[in-house]
């Protein structure tokens, strides 16, 4: 991921990012940072970039032209789309973990750091795509907030932490704050490590940690705890038909999706811009639901959402709106057992960037950019016969197993089953319920899933999108 930071103090930025984990990620080529000195684009003989505000008032304001020139010279590239450009300001939306997740899937981000009384509104309107705040207070400049956001985003880029799983299980995962943790010695200043952590019983440790997370969240962040309780009630309702609702359940449980509405039920996956839409979920006895209508759906949509999956019944209503376009109908196939599957050919390994082109050539439901991002995220695996790639499989943003392809010369050898079983076992090891989504006219895939012990949900779901997005 590439970061460009427009600032009056590039040394401040460089000192903050070329240390510790971010510095190591730069050395590995996972991240790149460019601090651009706005002052060097001033046309004033004294390199001034500020002036008095029209209408009077205290303080000075950064001028539009130096900011614009710095942006055009460093952030606009011929043949490439305009990058997400973030202005850090107390007037922006509160920056959250959900936003960090969303931004971490971008290839390039630009941060603009203001000073004095801010920046001329006209250049902000011209180049800024997002405005975020790290809190309801005022700082001397935008560098510190920019560094905070950059750190939160960078740690979610694959490979930066070294152990990508840790990014999913820390604070704010599942709307609960992280439990307290301890290390040696067992007793320090007459304070002992809780006995349950010393016994080493995994189930008891997990239960203790959950209790402590709930206790802490309820005490210091009641707003988060309310979201946690809502998710539990939604999970309870959806669990009445796990096979059909597995994609909804897993999005909530894995922390990849957030509930943005219960009437209708809408779960947003920020890393993919995907929204799941379902019938309303009753979270209290007195709740009544409105009928589904496109305008209400649009009023609830996050800005970057563009892909959807809903029940077929909902899409039958929404497709009357010309802004939506149909992709495909699917059913969920889910592995409900806890037992690991057997694999005959175990020569399966994670595929790297050198395989992107051949995967994109043979996977017919995604652009090269999508394939590249799944590979970069470490979510695509290949099976080999005599050191030659015989097929591949992966997981999609929303968590489903898919992208299965076996090259013609290696078919009818059971390699597809081996690949699928490998991914099922991998999902089980991560505590997930393995599932895939089968396109309705793919009879061969339905037969494979049934033979392999996966169970089909009864409901038909529709993938669709926004036109021109």
Q: Apex CA 453: angle with CA 269 and CA 341, to 5°?
A: 85
Which tokens hold the place of 411? 């078919």
SS3 80: coil
> Does position 367 have pLDDT exceeding 60, yes or no?
no
The predicted-structure confidence for 444-461, as pLDDT tens digits, reads as follows 899 989 999 999 999 999
The C-alpha atoms of residue 64 and residue 42 are separated, in whole angstroms, by 10
> Does position 171 have pLDDT exceeding 50, yes or no?
no
Q: What mean pLDDT do residues 309-329 have?
A: 93
Q: Give the pLDDT of residue 172.
A: 44
Q: What mean pLDDT do residues 210-217 have?
A: 93
Mean of pLDDT over the chain: 90
Q: Give the pLDDT of residue 290.
A: 75
Q: Which of 1-10, 200-209, 413-422 has the lowest mean pLDDT?
A: 200-209
The predicted-structure confidence for 280-294, as pLDDT tens digits, reads as follows 888 776 777 778 888
> Does position 369 have pLDDT exceeding 50, yes or no?
yes
Q: Quick one: CA torsion of 147, 148, 149, 155, rounded to 10 degrees?
A: 100
Cross-strand pairs, 276: 267, 309
pTM: 0.75
Q: What mean pLDDT do residues 110-124 have?
A: 95
Query: Which pLDDT band, with edges at 50, 70 and 90, does 66 fall under?
Result: very high
Q: Which of 2-11, 175-184, 361-370, 376-385 has the lowest mean pLDDT?
A: 361-370
Q: Integer distance in angstroms from the first to the last C-alpha of the chain?
A: 22
Q: Give the pLDDT of residue 410.
A: 97
Q: Which residue has the higher pLDDT, 289 or 257?
A: 257
Q: What mean pLDDT do residues 254-276 have?
A: 90
> Does position 99 have pLDDT exceeding 90, yes or no?
no
> Does position 166 have pLDDT exceeding 50, yes or no?
no
CA–CA distances in Å: residue 281 to residues 225, 230, 231, 314, 462: 19, 10, 11, 14, 19
């Amino acid at each position: 991921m590439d970061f460009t930071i427009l600032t009056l103090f590039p040394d401040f930025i460089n000192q903050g990012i070329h240390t510790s984990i971010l510095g190591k990620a730069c050395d590995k080529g996972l991240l790149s940072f460019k601090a651009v000195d706005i002052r060097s684009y001033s046309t004033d003989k004294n390199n001034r970039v500020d002036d008095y505000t029209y209408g009077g008032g205290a303080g000075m304001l950064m001028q539009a032209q130096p900011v614009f020139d710095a942006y055009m010279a460093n952030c606009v590239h011929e043949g490439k789309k305009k990058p997400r450009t973030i202005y850090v300001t107390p007037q922006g939306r509160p920056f959250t973990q959900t936003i960090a997740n969303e931004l971490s899937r971008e290839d390039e981000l630009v941060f603009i750091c203001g000073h004095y009384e801010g920046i001329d509104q006209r250049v902000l309107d011209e180049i800024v795509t997002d405005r975020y705040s790290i809190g309801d207070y005022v700082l001397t400049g935008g560098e510190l907030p920019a560094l905070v956001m950059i750190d939160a985003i960078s740690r979610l880029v694959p490979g930066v932490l070294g152990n990508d799983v840790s990014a999913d299980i820390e604070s704010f995962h599942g709307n609960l704050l992280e439990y307290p943790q301890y290390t040696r010695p067992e007793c320090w200043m007459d304070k002992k490590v809780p006995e349950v952590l010393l016994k080493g019983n995994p189930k008891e440790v997990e239960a203790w940690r959950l209790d402590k997370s709930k206790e802490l969240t309820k005490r210091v962040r009641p707003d988060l705890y309310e979201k946690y309780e809502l998710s539990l009630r939604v999970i309870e309702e959806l669990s009445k038909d796990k096979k059909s609702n597995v994609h909804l359940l897993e999005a909530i449980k894995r922390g990849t999706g957030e509930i943005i509405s219960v009437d209708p039920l809408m779960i947003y996956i920020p890393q993919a811009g995907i929204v799941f839409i379902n019938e309303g979920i009753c979270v209290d006895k007195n709740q009544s639901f409105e009928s589904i209508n496109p305008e209400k759906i649009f009023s609830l949509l996050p800005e970057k959402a563009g892909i959807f999956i809903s029940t077929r019944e909902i899409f039958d209503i929404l497709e009357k709106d010309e802004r939506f376009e149909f992709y495909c109908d699917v059913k969920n196939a889910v592995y409900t057992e806890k037992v690991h599957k057997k694999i005959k050919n175990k020569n399966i390994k994670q595929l790297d960037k050198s395989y992107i082109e051949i995967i994109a050539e043979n996977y017919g439901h995604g652009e090269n950019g999508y394939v590249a991002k799944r590979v970069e995220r470490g979510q695509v695996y290949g099976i080999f016969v005599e050191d030659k790639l015989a097929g591949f499989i992966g997981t999609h943003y929303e968590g489903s197993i898919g992208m299965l392809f076996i090259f013609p010369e290696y078919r009818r050898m059971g390699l597809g089953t081996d690949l699928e079983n490998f991914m099922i076992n991998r999902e089980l090891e991560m505590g997930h319920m393995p599932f895939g989504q089968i396109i309705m006219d793919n009879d061969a895939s339905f037969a494979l899933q049934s033979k392999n012990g996966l169970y089909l949900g009864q409901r038909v779901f529709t993938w669709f999108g926004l036109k021109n997005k």
